[in-house]
Every structure is written in structure tokens, then in C-alpha cells.
Structure 1
Amino acid sequence: MFRNIMNNLATWYEIGENKAALIRGGKFVGKTWAALDFATGFFDEHILIDLEQYPDFCQYISKERKPEKLHAKLTTSLDKYDFQGKLLIFDNVQLSTMAVPNLVEYAKVSSGVRICMLATVNGMLPGEAECQDDLFVYELTPMTFDEFLKAGKGRKLWKYIENQRLEGLPEEVRASVDTMLDAFLVTGGMPEAVNAYYKNENFEEVDGILQKTLDKMTEYIVKVTPKKLLTKVMLIWNSIPVQLTKENKKFMYGYVDPKARAREYESSVDHLVRIGVVRQVYRVKHGILPLAEQVDEKSFEIYHLDHGLLRIMAGIHYYDIDQTNIVDTMDGMIAEQYAMEELYANKNIGRLFFWISSATAKVDFVYEGDGEVVPVDVQTEPHTKAQSSKVFKQRYNNATSIRISTDDMYMNNGLLNVPLYGIWNF
């Protein structure tokens, strides 16, 4: 299946000689698969070095910065001595404290050898900032709807959406797009589940794969979590569906443990975010620039990594879903989770936040647009007014608001309606 990151890696291949590449992302989103697919298409040979399987080298690379010594240790560890013309893929570099800057130094002096690193992590790795000029960094998320379309029979539909501007799709095209979107809302963006869907369109099989993925993700959390945090981390992890389906979606420690206090659980939340299994969206106190200075660090939401996994975690199987209104599953929470993923992956949109008025108005997401703060409401019912964005506009006088809904694309008095199927394309 084609992933959009292939275009990025092709650019690195063309202009990034003697510079390393780093692919960051959540667990099971396809980082290793993408790197190997890229290697097959662009190199005659490649070598995959999983640092989890080479503990001696993993420890060594955290301390040794000299490229010649790294090379000697690597050749000894792999029992290979000629790397010329090869792509070296270092997996799980998050396990080695200073792997990134040290491998960047190795790439700078190793002509004819290309270095690609993979990390299961959310955010920057140690030493990454100091070598930005010699490093191409990419983030891989679960598959987006445009990737889902391009992975199978939806390529022509993808082209229709890409060419769409402020007008609706032809009726027959819209019907097909809605069918594919419904399938994606059920399947989610985990590559293994998407691949299973396109093989035979059997959603029971998809549910089985999602359950296995969720089980493996839980095992991964247990494996990488310090024992002193494990109980609290698992309580938070298991509370995610409840957190997202309550009316006030702000994260409440009381839903984790009635006696919980924020200071006792903060490090556990940070850990789940860091290891790439959830996303954290902070509240901003005011809708003014710069948003980073308006963050209320005590008020946030936790989203799952993927809407398909969230559905399974909530115990909702394919046969439980109202097939006439899939977007309203979990009272619209699947659609909001999906919208968050699409917005997060959209390169035209920066960091996401949310906003709550002193009364009851809640804007699902806000971000910094062209010199202003842009509020985003997610609606699962057609022709619904974006009331929260109106409250936001009255207070902050922003020129542009966005409503994500089941309606087609249109613009009206500063309100841009973005269809659920087209979040990746605006």
C-alpha cells in the first residue's frame, strides 16, 4: 500500500546525501514497513538493524560519537563489512539515548551509505534538536482517508476530492465517497486492518485484526512502562473510551480513579503520550495569538491513536453499528476522533488545541491560521449551525471559522464548511 511518506523519502533520497532521515510515529502505524518498501524501490540492498535485537550496539551507540568507532562496532555486531551503496535502517532508536545525533555524525562522513532511523515516540528525541541541519524528520500517523482511498479501489474518488474546491461533488461520486468513508470509519487507519479490508471487505475479519492490534498495543504499554507507573498508566489507558464519550470531554482524573489527584497521575499521562499510543490536546484560555502562550496545562483531552482501535476498545463491533448513520457512532465520538487524526496529519494545520467559554460553549479544535486563530467545530448532523464557533467569533472577532460536517464544501460569511471526507484537502 502506498503511503504519502514515500514522497518525502524520495525527496530525502534526491537531496539528502550525507544526511540522515528519521521517521517517528505511534506503535503499529507502519514505520518499518514504509522504510522497507522505500528501500526496495530505491536501493539494491538494505540492512535492517533493530536495536532491540542488538542490545550491545544499542548501549554502545548511546555513548560513542566517533563515526569510525561506530562503524567498527557495527560491522562486528552484524558480521558485515561493506555498507557501500546500501541503506542502513536503524529501528527502535528511541531505546538508545543519543542514537540520533551519533548516527547523524556517522551519516555525514559515510559517503555512499544512507542512514534511516525509526522511532516509536511522540515528540523529539534526545539530541535531535542539535542536528536539525543534517536530519530529515518525518512523522508517520495511522493512514488518513486519502491514503485509504489510494490504497485500493478509491483512487478515482481521491482525484475527484483533490480537484474539488468550493463546490459539491457530483451526486453519484458523493454516494461512492460516502460509502468509502463509512468503510474507513469502521476500519480505521492501522495498515494491517486496511489491508485486510481491501482483501475481501470482511469487517468481521477487520474487527479481529483490530482486537489483536489493541491487545499487542496493551502488551507494549506494559512492556515499556516502569513498574512504579504501571498501575496508574493502565487505569488511564482503560478509561479512554469513557473520557471521550462524556459530555464534557475534558480529561477528568475522577473517571480514572474517584480518589485520583492530578499530581499523582501527570507523569503517567505524559508516559502514554510519549510512547505514541495516545494524543494529548490542551485547552487554551483565550483565542489569541500566540496560542502556545494561552495553554492551560492542567486542562486537556486525551484521544486514542486511531479511531478503529477506539471503536474496538469501546466494545463496539461492526454488527453493533447503525449502518444508516455510522458517523454518529459513540454519539459522534468516532467522527471527532477521525477528524482529530485528519487535522493532525494535515501539513497546512499547526498544533491543535481546544477552547471552552466560561459558560458551556466548547470549540472542538483551534489552531493558528494565517495571522489569526481558527476555531473548528465537528458536527455529525447535516445543516447544523456551528454555535460554539459563533460564541468564539463574538469574543475574538476572528475572520475565519471551520465546520467539519457531512455537508459538502462551501464558504459563507467567513464560515468554511469542510466535508468529513475532505479534511486532508484544505
Structure 2
Amino acid sequence: MERFIMKDLIKWKNRKDRKPLVIKGVRQCGKTYILKQFGEENYEDTAYFNFEGNPALAARFEQDLDPKRIIMELGVLIGRKINQHKTLIIFDEIQFCNAALTSLKYFYEQTPEYHIVCAGSLIGITLSKPLSFPVGKVDFLTLRPMSFPEFIIANDEEMLFEYIRNLNTQDQIPQMFADKLITLYKTYLITGGMPEVVAKWKETEDISEVERIQDVILNAYELDFAKHAPVSDIPKLSLIWKSIPDQLSKESGKFVYGHVKPGARAKDLEDALQWLINAGMVYKVLKIEKPAMPLSAYSDPSYFKLYMADTGLLRRMSRLPASSIYKDSALYTEFKGAMTENFVLNELINLHGEVPFYWKSGNTAEVDFIVQLEERIFPIEVKASTNVKSRSLGVYREKYKPEISIRSSLMNFKMDEGLLNIPLYLIWNIEKFVNS
């Protein structure tokens, strides 16, 4: 399956100032697979090393951090020579060996001719701890669950993707194409973007098989709490994690600590919440009261919404039947807005890795997302269907007079006095549309 990060990996390979590369990303998003594919397609050889449960490998870094000795001994471990420039060295689950993390500094300073990439399902947790991490001596990339355009391609719709990628806001999408895109969009809400889930859907088109894989992933996340989190935080992590669907389904969507556990306050749960954020499992979207640059300066850290990194896992955790999404069941109406917002958020974060904000003015109006694209700020109102009435966006527009306001819904392209409707299945291309 095609992943857009491959282009960034090739750029890294060709850079003259290349440093060891660390790939961050939530568990099961495809880090190991993409690195092995990258090695197979761009190097003569790939030397793969996994630190999880491998003391013999970790021992290679205990004597000292001399990169030439380490390279020689790693070659002995795999039974072949590791060549400069020709071999891609993969350190997987590197967070299990602090010395290996530290060694990246010396690989960069003393043997930059070796190409080293590292991955770890909880590398964000590792980086948040006070370890001897080689700050400034490594490059970073983040791999997330498959985006919607990657999902389109994975479903053998490359020509459809090329067609919509070149659309402009002056175009009208023919209904037969719009119908196919809406079906793909609804399927994506069900499966999400975890590569194993998408592969199982493509192989079987069996929702029960999809949900079986999703349950395996969700169980693995819970096991990560027990294996890697501070003991005192484990019950809190589980409670926060399981409360997300319910919190999003509330009318305001605001995260309330007391809804996690009666009587709980921020100081009781904020460390556990930060663990989930560092692990890449959730996104924290802060409220702002004024759309001015930088947006972060006008945010309120105590008022936020919590979304998940994958819409498919959100749906599965909520136990929402797939048929409710395909049929637009009335019983799904209240949760539909939360699912749609989570989808749009994930696509926005895929643009540049930045989490947007949302705007709220007292109890009178609320706009789902506020994004900054270069030097321009755009409000984005998310609508789950073709019912696009929005008093809140009207209040925002009246107050701040934005150059362009965005509404994302299942409607076709439409520009109406500065209000641009972008179909939900095209929100990933927002940068092109606001500049066309």
C-alpha cells in the first residue's frame, strides 16, 4: 500500500546533511513495514534489528558507544557486512534500549556515511523522559494512520485519486464520482487508517474481520498502559481512553475530567492524559477566543476537546455498528458530528503535523476548527451531511470578517460570498482550494 511518507524518506536518503532518522508514530500505524519497504526499494541491502526482548542486541551498546565497533558486531549478528551508503540499518523498538538512542549522536558525528533509521511504537513517551537523547543529532518524521487519500489508492482507485487531486473549486464533481467518493469516505469512517485493518478490508470486505483486527489493536493499546506507563497512572489511562467516545458525543464535546471519574480534577488526571498525547494516541484541541497569530497565544489550556488518532478505532470503541454509517441511521445522528469532526481533524493534522484549535464565544457560538496556513487564518465548520445551516459560523464571520470561511460537508464545491464549501472527502487538499 502506498504511503506518502515514502517521498520524505527518499529526500532524507539524498540529503548531504543527513542525520540518523527517528520515525515516530502510534502503534500499528505501519512504521516497520514502511521502513522495510523503503530499504528494499532504495538500498542494496537492509539490516533489521528489533530491540524488544533482545538482550543480545542491547549488549552491543553496553561496552561503549563506538559506532565502528557497533557496526562490526551488528554485522556479525546478521552474518553479513554492513556497507556504507549501500545498507539501510533499521533499529526497531529502539525505546527499549536507551544506550542505542544515545549512540545516534556518535553515529552522526563519527560515521555519517551509514544510513540509520529508527522506529518505536512509544518513542514519543521515550522522548518525553529525561534521558541522554541526542538533541540536534537526529532527524524526525512522524507516520500516522493512513490518510483518506492513501485509503483511496489502497482501494485500487488511483485514477479517481488523480482526478480529484487536480480539481479546482470552480469544478463540479460529477454525481457518479461523488457517490463513489462518499461510499469510500463512509467505509473509511468504519475501517479507519490502520494499515492492517485496511489490508483486511481490501482482502475480505468483511466488517467482522475488520472489527476483529481493530479489537486486537485496542487490546494492544491497553497492554501498553500496563507495560510502559507509571503504575499509578494505569487505571487513569484506561478511564480517560475509554471516556473519549462518550465525551465527544456530548453536545459541547468539551473534555471534562469529572466525566472520567466522579470528582476527578485536572491535577488528578493531567499526567495520564499527557502520556496518551505523547504516545500519539490522542489529539488535544485547545479553545481560542480570538483568531490572531500566533493562535497558541490566544488558547486556553484548561478548555479543550480530545480526539483519537484513528476514526476506525473511535467507531469500534463506541460500538457503533458499521451499518449505521452506511445507512445514515437516525440512531447515529448524535455521534455522527463527533465522527466527522475526528475525520476532518486527522486530515488537517496530516498536512503539517500541527493540531488546530477551535473557537468558542461564551455560550453563544462555536466553530469546529481554526487553522493557520502560512499567514492566513481560516475557520472550518464541519457538517456531517448536506444539512449545512450554521449560526455559529455566521457569528464568527460577522465578528472577524475572514477573507475565506470553510465549510466541509457532503455537498459539492460551492463558493458563496466568501464561504467555501469543500466536500469532506476533499478536505485533505484544503491548501490548494483556498489558494485557487
Per the normalisation by structure 2, the TM-score is: 0.88
1:405–1:18 distance in 2 versus 1, CA, 3 Å: closer
Instruction: Select which of 161, 179, 184 maps to 1:180.
Output: 184
Paired residue for 2:434? none
1:98–1:425 distance in 2 versus 1, CA, 3 Å: farther
Paired residue for 1:287? 291
Give 1:386 deviation, angstroms: 3.5
| Structure 1: gaps (5+ residues) | none
Paired residue for 1:389? 393
Paired residue for 1:409? 413
1:390–1:55 distance in 2 versus 1, CA, 3 Å: farther
Query: Which amino acid letter does the alignment assign opposite residue 145 of structure 2?
Result: P
Give 1:393 deviation, angstroms: 2.6
Per-residue CA deviation, residues 133-155 of structure 1 (Å, 9 max, x unaligned), is x6442211111111011112211
Paired residue for 1:139? 142
Q: State the aligned residue count.
A: 422
CA distance in 1, matches of 2:31, 2:222: 19
Paired residue for 1:114? 115
Instruction: Select which of 209, 219, 226 maps to 2:223.
Output: 219
Which range moves more in the overlay, 101-110 or 332-341? 101-110
Paired residue for 1:332? 337
Matched ranges for 1:15-414 at <5 A: 15-16=15-16, 18-55=18-55, 58=58, 66-68=66-68, 70-71=70-71, 74=74, 78=77, 80=79, 82-84=81-83, 85-97=86-98, 99-100=100-101, 102-110=103-111, 112-120=113-121, 121-122=123-124, 125=127, 130-131=135-136, 135-166=138-169, 167-321=171-325, 323-324=327-328, 328=333, 330-347=335-352, 350-414=354-418
CA distance in 1, matches of 2:349, 2:379: 14
**Contact 2:104/2:134, CA 8 A, preserved across alignment:** no
Query: Which amino acid letter does the alignment assign opposite residue 89 of structure 1?
Result: I
1:424–1:101 distance in 2 versus 1, CA, 3 Å: farther
Instruction: Kindly indicate whether residue 8 of structure 2 is the aligned counterpart of residue 3 of structure 1.
Output: no
CA distance in 1, matches of 2:235, 2:356: 29
CA distance in 1, matches of 2:273, 2:102: 27
CA distance in 2, matches of 1:330, 1:230: 28
CA distance in 2, matches of 1:4, 1:361: 37
Give 1:253 deviation, angstroms: 0.7
Query: Which amino acid letter does the alignment assign opposite residue 375 of structure 1?
Result: P
SS of aligned partner of 1:375: strand
Which range moves more in the overlay, 97-106 or 279-288? 97-106
**Contact 1:107/1:114, CA 8 A, preserved across alignment:** no
**Contact 1:18/1:108, CA 8 A, preserved across alignment:** no
Per-residue CA deviation, residues 380-425 of structure 1 (Å, 9 max, x unaligned), is 1315134322222333332222111111223332222111110111
Per the normalisation by structure 1, the TM-score is: 0.90
| TM-align CA RMSD | 2.7
Give 1:321 deviation, angstroms: 4.2
1:367–1:155 distance in 2 versus 1, CA, 3 Å: same
Which range moves more in the overlay, 165-174 or 321-330? 321-330
CA distance in 2, matches of 1:340, 1:184: 14
Percentage identity across aligned positions?
30
1:62–1:294 distance in 2 versus 1, CA, 3 Å: farther
Give 1:86 deviation, angstroms: 1.2
